[in-house]
Structure 1
């Protein structure tokens, strides 16, 4: 489950944003004390930041620059400053996107999802042909998963799902996110397709000696948890 930090002093907008994004299974945090924004940012360690420009005690542009020194989390400005110059300034400070007020929550959600895909998903730089997490190696060239001295072959869908879960270790990945991983213009993908493929992943992890690692967050999604 991705953590979103909303830095916005309009309490109503903050509340509406939180409630809307929570429907899509994001964990949403708000700044409590605007005098200690940097400390709260470090404590929350968000996966994505929604940042206003006009804030008490701080300027959003300066905060963006500070955050960028500490984190690669996507930053999206939400601001009433709609001029092209202001938008360019925000991007130059290190933001990933800029949305002007008033905006629809559908557009905000689309920008959040796009930023997450670019940073953590299929378009991220972390897309090496092979990677290892908790001793499990996934090779995208050979479609094989190995652990210690055992290996199994994976289907295309199994490869997509186990890669997504491993890269989000100990975080719940929603069913919607996993379905998006499986989406293919040439084939029909539904909730049953996801359930079947998750079961296959569980079986193949067991084959290589990793048992009971796939956990189900009922009604939300799945995550990997490895026993010590």
Structure 2
């Protein structure tokens, strides 16, 4: 990492113009940028330069991007944002199930992509894989997993077991997209992996209780047909001082 760099980004994309555009945009924000034109070159450079984040295209000339993603996940936990023209829902779900942290379709807005990069790097600085933090905050909302306590301001939020289980799993992957299939299997069991209605009902109730604005989805984001992302910040040093009664 060069002097003054805020992170190293590996861009794996076979389109020269895309790589150039991303290099200029990322460098203007203070990032070091390493480029790879093929999947095999990308995997090699991922080992050589130890990037802080990878931007991965799926349509590569030698390997399918999904294969590259699986190989990246086998060798490290580096955050990966897929940047691809593939818009199909099954491609997005497969990429997220294979370990992608986010998925952006081409053409994309560079400011949005940069914001996603910054968010992932912030979370990487505070956690590795699943968050080990037990306390999360966002605005007036406090989630204390150790005490099984959820507060809006000083007011306790009463959650059902399923609502709490959903919230806990989203906190464990805070800032990352968690697929519907993963949530259904972990909360309801493997025989309910296709029962999307169950999940939607619990998400709707959870949003209401957390005070989330469904129109803006500023706290609990939805990607239709794919999954959910919870935007809360881990607070590993803090503690709650309000009523510590456990949720039933």
Say whether the 8 Å CA contact 1:119–1:125 is kept in structure 2.
no
Q: Give the superposition deviation at 1:118.
A: 1.8
Q: SS where residue 104 of structure 2 aligns? A: strand
Quote the residue 2:53 is aligned against: 48
Quote the residue 2:116 is aligned against: 111
Identify which of 10, 14, 38 aligns with 1:5. Answer: 10
Quote the residue 1:22 is aligned against: 27
Gaps of 5+ in 2: 1-5, 136-248
Q: TM-score, normalised by structure 2?
A: 0.48
Quote the residue 1:83 is aligned against: 88
Q: TM-score, normalised by structure 1?
A: 0.52
Q: SS where residue 28 of structure 1 aligns? A: strand
Describe the superposition over 1:92-138 as per-residue Cα deviations: whole angstroms up to 9, x where unpaired. 11100000000010011011011112211489836599xxxxxxxxx
Please give the alpha-carbon distance, in whole angstroms, between the structure 1 residues aligned to 2:39 and 2:119.
Answer: 28
- Matched residue count: 129
Relative to structure 1, is the Cα distance of residues 32 and 98 closer, same or farther in structure 2, using a 3 angstrom cutoff? closer
Gaps of 5+ in 1: 130-228
Say whether the 8 Å CA contact 1:74–1:115 is kept in structure 2.
yes
Question: Is 1:68 matched with 2:73?
Answer: yes
Say whether the 8 Å CA contact 2:38–2:62 is kept in structure 1.
no
Quote the residue 2:3 is aligned against: none
Say whether the 8 Å CA contact 1:48–1:74 is kept in structure 2.
yes
Question: Is 1:100 matched with 2:105?
Answer: yes
Please give the alpha-carbon distance, in whole angstroms, between the structure 2 residues aligned to 1:128 and 1:21.
Answer: 33
Higher relative contact order (CA 8 A, sep 6+): 2
RMSD: 2.2
1:126-141 equivalences under 5 Å are none
1:136-175 equivalences under 5 Å are none
